[in-house]
Amino acid sequence: MGYNGLHDLFKNDRPGEQPDRNLKDATEDFDLSLACKRFPSITLGSSPPVELYDEATSSSRIRLLAAQRFLSNFMDEKWVDPNGLSETWPSLYQPFPEVGSSVVVEESADLHQSSWSITLESEGKPDHPLTVEETTEKLDRSSCSVTSEFEGRSDHLVIEEEPSSKVGVEPQSDMATFDLFLDSSISCIPGLKKLHCRQLEECGFFTLRKLLHHFPRTYADLQNAQTEINDGQYLIFVGKIMSSRGVRASCSFSFLEVIVGCEVANSEPILEQIDGDTDTKGEKKIYLHLKKFFRGARFSSQPFLRCLEGKHKVGEVVCVSGKVRALSQDHYEMMEYNIDVLKDVNDSSVITKGRPYPIYPSKGGLKPGFLRDIIARALQAMPVNIDPIPNEIIKEFGLLRLHDAYIGIHQPMNIEEADLARKRLIFDDFFYLQLGRLFQMLEGLGTKIEKDGLLEKHRKPEVNAAYMEEWSSLTKEFLKALPFSLTSGQLSAISEIIGDLKRPVPMNRLLQGDVGCGKTVVAFLACMEVIASGYQAAFMVPTELLAIQHYEHFVNLLEKMDVVDNKPSVALLTGSTPLKQSRLISEKVEFSSLRIAVVDDQHRFGVIQRVKFNSKLYHTSTSSRAQSTDVDVSSEHDAFMAPHILALSATPIPRTLALALYGDVSLTNITDLPPGRIPVETYIIEGTDTGFKNIYAMMLEELEAGGRLYLVYPAIEQSEQLPQLRAASADLETISNQFQDYKCGLLHGRMKGDEKEEALRKFRSGETDILLATRVIEIGVDVPDASMMVVMNCERFGIAQLHQLRGRVGRGTRKTKCILVASTSSSLDRLKVLEKPSDGFHLASVDLLLRGPGDLLGKEQSGHLPEFAIARLEMDGNILQEAHVAALKILSDSHDLECFPALKAELSMQKPICILGD
Ligand SMILES: Nc1ncnc2c1ncn2[C@@H]1O[C@H](COP(=O)(O)OP(=O)(O)OP(=O)(O)O)[C@@H](O)[C@H]1O
């Protein structure tokens, strides 16, 4: 369920709407969309479009703002001694003979920073089937003449809807047929000079893998120069060498200049000649100057220069490709050129036929042309048997073999081959990440049955749902106490979660849903289920305000419950809980039987999942107070199990991102809203004098109609450095004067806990009509009667953040408004996307596309994103899904990878630290 392309993503908002013209133009200018046109394997986005509002038809029209490169290189990772790996991942690491290095991504996470929250415990109760064509193609490369068998190619592929549980990947018997070429030193490239070897190593190219992962930035479509020749074009010519000169410019500087004469179509109008004859041929001769420069005394010697000259013989027919620049009439310089000798002029057809011309980025002072030459030599030396991935997987997922993929990415015959090669290499990026994460997760489990169960759960998440009859009676009673019925989204979410809670494997689930969709109550129900089995639940939230709100909400609902002998008790623990009281709580809340931790902020989820819980949060007590016979599979092993983790996402993230971030996370999406919700009317207004006049008029109208207003500010106090920023404290007087008949309140992070609580209480109860607040209200604050929000200096906030803020209104059934006040007109365009009601999933996909995963996730979380050699999450999500399925297949056959020694070796050489840094 992804978007099928860029336009699809922008069109998807609501069916029937045409994409607007500006968007269309913008997307066509966008490099990414060119990439999409070019490479069929790219599918943008990965989150399903969701219909949130009943009957509401709305659409978001977005302008693409930035162009991005579609192939990127990440060559700056740190290196470690492979021997060091054994310390970090002993079970995986096997020492090899003298092979390369691995990538380190250092991560740090401090769980103790977070301010927490509520603790709950019970009292006394514990591609259509692949058409893999076996094609054999001879690739006669003009530069390195490689002959290669292309097996396992497919024109298109469809991922099986439900991967069969029968896997049947042939075990790899041993390492004998697997060549460790990629991790050999670059010094094994035949004929590589020591100097070049040193230069390459200084730039980080220690191994052949590193070198071959210096991918082309893009490919130029080499065109035959038929009509006109413009500077900067990548063109291809066939002509004859007119001269070849080695020129000594100084005692330490020389150059080789080769001039090639070519006949090309004449673009100028055919002139009537004086005698009346016309130039019937319409051709003219041009001269291409190919230069190579040398610095150093020994390159200036006559013998050396003669030898250089001799390499290109006058009269030879050659094919020249590269970037042209006009020198003078009919004379052009060829840069980044490639020159190949042809048998004769007719020999040119093969070469000139649409062959993409790879454009390399330079690296640490090494020129693209030099790198291309070295890479070509490495490719020539590359053996065929370097692929650690078993044949069955290659065939099933329509992948090129690794050998062919490297040839295909560096020297493609056509763009289709480059695309297949790109797909294979992206697949590898994702595959080893998934394999590593799942492998690590399996390692943490005891028995084979558990491991099989876990893999099965990943393959078929839907089979785990526990329907209401299977819920505990406590959970059912709690459900009855709710003042509303659950939406179908909430119901299936809680069924999935309870299904997980019944398994003897710790749950790692991310519950996503748009603002106000009712995630909290789902999490409460999950806590009840755990408490019913005699265990404890901890509910962690990012702000004190939210902790208090959830605490009151929960206590309230518990009071409404008819039951029961042992009503669960609830304690509140926040930063401002007095020491004595907090000790009391801490003592009582020993987490001796903690079974679920709800984390109401996905950003902290990454951290928590990675560092695991500190020892206090582990369930260590065998003397659990479990007395209930209600549910849960209590077993001896169960008592030592790590707690389930349920993270609630504040901003939904696309599935691809979640997979890349967490690998093993289960996702639950609530894709509907409680009935009767009306989309928030959003206006973006420039904060000029007239703008504010209009805003105040709208505010007054709302107040007169009995509404309650949030004013959100980027700062608490006015600052001298940023005088243009409106500040909450400073504005209190202005707003109070402006709306004298109404009461104003103030809420910001520097207020004491009880002051904040009091300010929110007054606003909730209607004692204050206008609440001037900072971002402290962004997450989770729930005042269903709030009817309007004005966000000052809204350009200071990201799109997803504004969506979160806006989510503080529209939580009831009344019509609500949100006014985004932009300080400058230039920021208006970027924010237009918010003017139309749109769900958080969609906005997250747009954010991902426009700003990349780093910006979407924020600094804290994006630090956990692995680095990929070639893959781009925003474009290659579909390949990530395939890689996930493939990793599951492999591990289903061999939990410890013992049957796949080559894969295991490769995994340890890939990014073990990145995986282990978790
Ligand atoms: N099924 C329902 N029917 C009616 N109202 C509901 C339903 N579920 C939740 N609500 C109410 O909707 C409001 C928002 O719910 P909640 O705070 O759980 O949303 P949320 O998804 O956690 O939102 P946010 O992401 O903004 O924190 C609350 O006032 C809650 O009581």
Distance 804 CA to ligand 1 centre (A): 13
CB atoms within 10 A of CB 66: 11
Distance 514 CA to ligand 1 centre (A): 10
The finding on whether 15 has its CB within 6 A of some atom of ligand 1 is no
Distance 862 CA to ligand 1 centre (A): 28
Least confident segment among 168-182, 268-282, 532-546: 268-282
Is 80 exceeded by the pLDDT of residue 672?
yes
pLDDT band of residue 789 (cuts 50, 70, 90) is very high
Q: Return the residue whose CA atom lies nearest to atom 4 of ligand 1.
A: 674
Element (H, E) at 441: helix 415-443
Is 80 exceeded by the pLDDT of residue 685?
yes
pLDDT at 122: 41
- Ligand 1 site-directed mutation target among 484, 646, 677, 839, most atoms within 8 Å of CB: 484
Higher-confidence residue of 686 and 660: namely 686
pLDDT at 158: 26
pLDDT band of residue 17 (cuts 50, 70, 90) is very low
pLDDT at 525: 96
pLDDT band of residue 599 (cuts 50, 70, 90) is confident
> What whole-number distance in Å separates Cα of residue 910 and Cα of residue 456?
26
255-265 confidence digits (pLDDT tens)? 899 999 988 87
Q: For Cα atoms 366, 368, 370, give the angle at the middle one, nearest 5 degrees.
A: 65
- Does the CA dihedral 769-770-773-776 come out positive or negative? positive
Distance 556 CA to ligand 1 centre (A): 15
Is 60 exceeded by the pLDDT of residue 219?
yes
* Top-ranked range on mean pLDDT: pick from 87-101, 380-394, 715-729: 380-394
> What whole-number distance in Å separates Cα of residue 914 and Cα of residue 525?
35
The finding on whether 282 has its CB within 6 A of some atom of ligand 1 is no
The finding on whether 516 has its CB within 6 A of some atom of ligand 1 is yes
Least confident segment among 202-216, 376-390, 648-662, 672-686: 648-662
Distance 518 CA to ligand 1 centre (A): 3
Strands 317-328 and 283-295: unpaired
pLDDT at 915: 37
* Top-ranked range on mean pLDDT: pick from 15-24, 472-481, 858-867: 472-481
pLDDT at 582: 54
The finding on whether 782 has its CB within 6 A of some atom of ligand 1 is yes
Is 60 exceeded by the pLDDT of residue 251?
yes
Is 50 exceeded by the pLDDT of residue 757?
yes
- The pTM assigned to this predicted structure is 0.55
313-335 confidence digits (pLDDT tens)? 999 988 888 888 999 888 999 88
pLDDT band of residue 846 (cuts 50, 70, 90) is low
- Ligand 1 site-directed mutation target among 520, 552, 601, 760, most atoms within 8 Å of CB: 520
Higher-confidence residue of 596 and 220: namely 596
Q: Return the residue whose CA atom lies nearest to atom 10 of ligand 1.
A: 518
pLDDT at 439: 82
pLDDT band of residue 24 (cuts 50, 70, 90) is very low
> What whole-number distance in Å separates Cα of residue 504 and Cα of residue 570?
26
702-735 confidence digits (pLDDT tens)? 999 999 999 999 888 887 777 778 888 889 999 9
Q: What is the pLDDT of the chain when averaged over all its residues?
A: 70
Q: Return the residue whose CA atom lies nearest to atom 3 of ligand 1.
A: 674
Higher-confidence residue of 268 and 247: namely 247
The finding on whether 521 has its CB within 6 A of some atom of ligand 1 is yes
Distance 778 CA to ligand 1 centre (A): 15
pLDDT band of residue 225 (cuts 50, 70, 90) is low
Three-state DSSP at 470 gives helix
Least confident segment among 125-134, 510-519, 673-682, 806-815: 125-134
Is 60 exceeded by the pLDDT of residue 21?
no
Distance 472 CA to ligand 1 centre (A): 23
Alpha-carbon distance values, 114 to 132, 543, 560, 604, 793 (Å): 52, 9, 31, 8, 28
Q: Return the residue whose CA atom lies nearest to atom 27 of ligand 1.
A: 780
pLDDT at 265: 74
The finding on whether 517 has its CB within 6 A of some atom of ligand 1 is yes
Distance 650 CA to ligand 1 centre (A): 13
450-498 confidence digits (pLDDT tens)? 677 767 766 665 556 777 788 998 999 999 989 999 999 999 899 989 9
465, with CB counted inside 10 A (0-12, 13-18, 19+), is: middle
Atom from ligand 1 closest to the CA of residue 521: 18
The finding on whether 293 has its CB within 6 A of some atom of ligand 1 is no
Atom from ligand 1 closest to the CA of residue 513: 21
The finding on whether 809 has its CB within 6 A of some atom of ligand 1 is no
Is 90 exceeded by the pLDDT of residue 736?
yes
Please list, in sequence order, all residues whose beta carbon lies within 8 angstroms of the beta carbon of residue 344, skipping any fewer than 6 positions away. Answer: 317
Is 90 exceeded by the pLDDT of residue 772?
yes
* Residues linked to residue 348 through DSSP beta bridges, in sequence order: none
pLDDT at 404: 94
CB atoms within 10 A of CB 4: 14
Q: Return the residue whose CA atom lies nearest to atom 16 of ligand 1.
A: 518
**What's the first-to-final CA gap in the chain, in angstroms?**
29
pLDDT band of residue 141 (cuts 50, 70, 90) is very low
Distance 520 CA to ligand 1 centre (A): 7
* Top-ranked range on mean pLDDT: pick from 54-68, 77-91, 864-878, 892-906: 892-906
Three-state DSSP at 2 gives coil
Alpha-carbon distance values, 297 to 290, 300, 654 (Å): 22, 5, 58
Alpha-carbon distance values, 154 to 247, 339, 416, 421, 708 (Å): 51, 32, 11, 12, 60
The finding on whether 837 has its CB within 6 A of some atom of ligand 1 is no
855, with CB counted inside 10 A (0-12, 13-18, 19+), is: middle
pLDDT at 405: 94
Q: Return the residue whose CA atom lies nearest to atom 5 of ligand 1.
A: 674
Element (H, E) at 308: helix 302-310
Element (H, E) at 388: none
The finding on whether 486 has its CB within 6 A of some atom of ligand 1 is yes
Is 70 exceeded by the pLDDT of residue 125?
no
CB 561 within 8 A of CB 478: yes
Residue 9: both structure tokens together: 């993503």
Distance 517 CA to ligand 1 centre (A): 5
Atom from ligand 1 closest to the CA of residue 670: 21
664, with CB counted inside 10 A (0-12, 13-18, 19+), is: middle
pLDDT at 592: 62
- Ligand 1 site-directed mutation target among 494, 519, 839, most atoms within 8 Å of CB: 519
554-566 confidence digits (pLDDT tens)? 999 998 887 666 7
Distance 270 CA to ligand 1 centre (A): 76
* Top-ranked range on mean pLDDT: pick from 453-467, 635-649, 740-754: 740-754
Strand blocks (E) in 209-359 = 218-221, 223-224, 234-250, 253-265, 283-295, 317-328, 331-341, 356-359
The finding on whether 556 has its CB within 6 A of some atom of ligand 1 is no
pLDDT at 573: 82
The finding on whether 674 has its CB within 6 A of some atom of ligand 1 is yes
CB 68 within 8 A of CB 33: no
Higher-confidence residue of 188 and 87: namely 188
Q: Kindly state the percentage of the chain with pLDDT values over 70.
A: 61
Q: Kindly state the percentage of the chain with pLDDT values over 90.
A: 17
Least confident segment among 204-213, 535-544, 905-914: 905-914
The finding on whether 805 has its CB within 6 A of some atom of ligand 1 is no
Element (H, E) at 790: strand 786-791
Q: Return the residue whose CA atom lies nearest to atom 23 of ligand 1.
A: 516
Nearest CA to 41 out of 630, 879, 918, 885 is that of: 879
Give φ, ψ of 198 to 5 degrees.
Answer: -65, -45
> What whole-number distance in Å separates Cα of residue 526 and Cα of residue 498?
7
Higher-confidence residue of 892 and 849: namely 892
> What whole-number distance in Å separates Cα of residue 530 and Cα of residue 845?
34
The finding on whether 800 has its CB within 6 A of some atom of ligand 1 is no
The finding on whether 487 has its CB within 6 A of some atom of ligand 1 is yes
